[in-house]
Amino acid sequence: MDWLLNLPIAWLAIAILAASYAVAGLIYFVVRRLAVGERIQSFKAISAGMLSPLAVVFALLVGFLAAQVWSDADRAGTAVNREASALRAAVLLSDQFPGDAQRRLRELIRQHITTAAADEWPAMARHGANLTLVPHALADALRVALSLEPRGAGQALAQRELVASIQSALDARRQRIVLSGSSVNVVKWGALLVQAALILLTIAMVHCDNPLGNRIILAVFATGAAAAVLLIAAHSRPFSGALSIRPALLLQVMPEGGEPSRGAGEP
């Protein structure tokens, strides 16, 4: 489903609507061909009350899946925000160590952000990122921060905060990589789509003696089911698709090249 989920929202909506209408049309055609003779009475004997429990189960499935994908997307966005904030704090704290240490820290943070945007994000979109990918630049930045020799209480405090910020960035990176593997599995998609097909089949059989009304009701439910599937599909993968989380925040906090003057504030 990668090619489908990576479509722009408009094309994704068109594809899902087309598939929904195609299934509804196929069910209508099959039921109309079978609704002859005694079978039409058998179909009419099916109570319309069956639609209520089927619709309730469908609504519950949609609610559970929507809650899952929204929660994963929110957690992924929070992880990226936390990583960007921690890196920004590390850049600002590096101002307390002018000279080679400051230049080295800024260069390593810049390398980490560049690697994250250019390499990690495409891998996360393909579900190919995992925790075996070591962030060498950020790990080196942590070693540099730990090796600093503070002069005075101010630099000692800045070193502790610098180490904590880099560790926070490492933890946030781990979380976004873990969340990049989240998705709606085949079993959940299958349960949702089978439930929608059962409702369409029940509608077609209950109204088999009213062709026009049957087509209208099938079209209405097919549209609603397609909207629910679109809602879940568009948010099913936090780092891929039209509504995916981008590395824009990380790029915003990338430190500039060169060595800023001491106490100059944000670069």
pLDDT in tens, 101-113: 999 999 999 999 9
Q: What is the mean pLDDT of residues 77-85?
A: 96
**What would the pLDDT profile of 166-195 be if each residue is shown by its tens digit?**
999 999 999 999 999 888 889 999 999 999
Chain segment 64-75, per-residue pLDDT in tens: 999 999 999 999
| pLDDT of res. 107 | 95
Nearest 5°: CA angle at 171, between 154 and 5?
140
Eight-class DSSP state of 240: S
By C-alpha distance, which of 243, 127, 248, 118 is closest to 178? 127
pTM for the full model? 0.81
Q: Which two tokens stand for residue 60?
A: 């519950």
Dihedral pair phi/psi, residue 85, rounded to 5°: -65, -40
Give the pLDDT band of residue 259 (cuts 50, 70, 90): very low
The helices-and-strands tally (H runs, E runs) of the chain is 11, 0
Q: pLDDT digit string (tens) for 5-57?
A: 888 999 999 999 999 999 999 999 999 888 887 777 777 777 777 888 999 99
